[in-house]
Structure 1
């Protein structure tokens, strides 16, 4: 059982060969597993590792070596968005035990990338009015609150993300609140174990937890297979899954890709919105700049999909939100062929971790990486290309999340002013997606 738990920690990817420098700690069967647990999270362990050994380092998951890249220069050498699959998708599929799409050659990778880009673009284009309606309903609810009432961001924005992702990805079946509630129950059961129970092997030690996780995963898979069956061959092609069904993917691949998109899409979208709204509540100046950009670009018209690229300051604010919150501190990719970073050789089929949380706090890349968000939101102007490459360019989940977050922020800023709750301390849990430890609260007031 211990060996299986350690294998799960490596994201169920077989690693071969010795690579780079081997972190000289815990040279037992557990490798550096206990060091990771002692640090509190994989991100904290990687921050310490790169602080001691530099931007390229390796460590042990059990008896298997893993390479970690912790600076932008090394990531640029390794990332090739035209050839490889999304690294966050790779990691999630491995954690779930899915294998389809995690390997294959360059041609397959390019085809899948184009397929997902088409699926996301088609989904947003066909469903943008629905997305706008969902956001306006939430903002209308906030607008009805008394001035001093505390608004729980995590509860409200996760609910919004669940409704938006399920309806846009899986179709009108999820306009039914009961379907969304069932999806949310299974989603939470699955996500609560990914990156936590796997990390320390604790899920394997608890038959109740393991059974709960496996039951939720099986139920979610059954629902997704049912959705695909119901929508196959229908004329209306409006959902993410519809584009997948029109491709040459197998039923199993469609289910797995839908699982990963909905799992990641809900969590990334919700937390990008949560952190962005929270950070906005700390700076009236940034809120006013966003409001002015809306006036300049949209006038009195509602936000539209074709106008979003013109909202450049919104993009900068979201980029800085991702950086400050370290939204996805970890991603991973299997080395398809033998490669090289600087003078270091990375053998074929080695797991390469992108320590994004380390990169996004790198003093060599960012002028003031540890300052508060409101004091350094301008930094994204200089590094917008970097963040777009790491996130929206290579990940359909971030393309989707950035669009939803822009709709949320534009609707909120146009109608409301956001205020901090005095005395509130907001801390993050370092998991696969950075999440506030506790619900985060704001107060709102109407714009005059």
Structure 2
């Protein structure tokens, strides 16, 4: 072969080149090449048959010969695979191989309805009849936060199921009965940030190193009601309704500085925004941050994708003729779940909102405002009529319903391991798919 001839032409290197040629003729490929091949085969399998298919593809690669099997000990390979397939940047186990295996098993449990169900009582019995309800739920790796209509945020430890502490915001003169209701939570295992309808934003550290402080004082008169709040360590994004042309407020999550105000998404819902301060109406809109430095938001008629880095520039906008069930709107960082007024759920890629798949939610059209949904990296979870149902979102296949019926629900959230839902009667239901 011409390549071999050129390789052996250099002086002093002929012996090494000859040995490489002999190894090549025996079918022994360089380890970096095999590692790259294994990575690509696994990615291709995950794209064509789902994330769980990558493990079988890797197993087949490792069975070729002892040299190829040795690639299974490469931490770099497992790190790259875990980041690409499971969107995980942080190592929680001893090795990246163990991290990959753990996430694969948890996703498999999710598909097979293998979970442990527990309940977390959160409202004292004498408060249930006073209208106190859970409005928002948020999950991190180790914690669950629940925000209430009185402004309080309860923090639970997931593994022990223990209630750790309750944070109460700095109250001030109210502009309505529910002006202090929690409208959004950003939770990590280091920091808790939450907002209330009156626009106040509070910050604290999880381990008690910093007392709760008010990072921003809301201005309802000039901004309207803060109807939803989301973000990450880098961005805080608020969705407002009540004042035209001020739908989105974007803040730097590190400096807490306001970097953008604008947008017309909620202009038609301005009056409804004011009503939220005095009565619990249907959800007006939702906003979710993505992993692409974008955010996606919706009202009952429109959905938009906008750029967080470039002054809220709208990347894509779409009006759904059948309307949108706001309670069934969610995003997992890579894809958004959008359910129309007739109960057809559409999974959209968050690069351009192109549709990946769709499925039908039974009974959603009749329930409408009482239908809530959420999505993680592989599954959509929707509750309607007290029944929690699960679909995989790679092809839109219906999988099963949870064994437990929980009645009316006011909030639901999911990550790769847990699903949590706040039901009437003062109970948070928690399903753990990773504890087996």
TM-score interval, smaller chain: under 0.3
Greater helix proportion: 1
Greater strand proportion: 2
Tell me the TM-score normalized by structure 2. Answer: 0.27
Tell me the TM-score normalized by structure 1. Answer: 0.26
The structure number with the bigger radius of gyration is 2
Compare relative contact order (CA 8 Å, sep 6+) and give the higher one, 1 or 2: 1
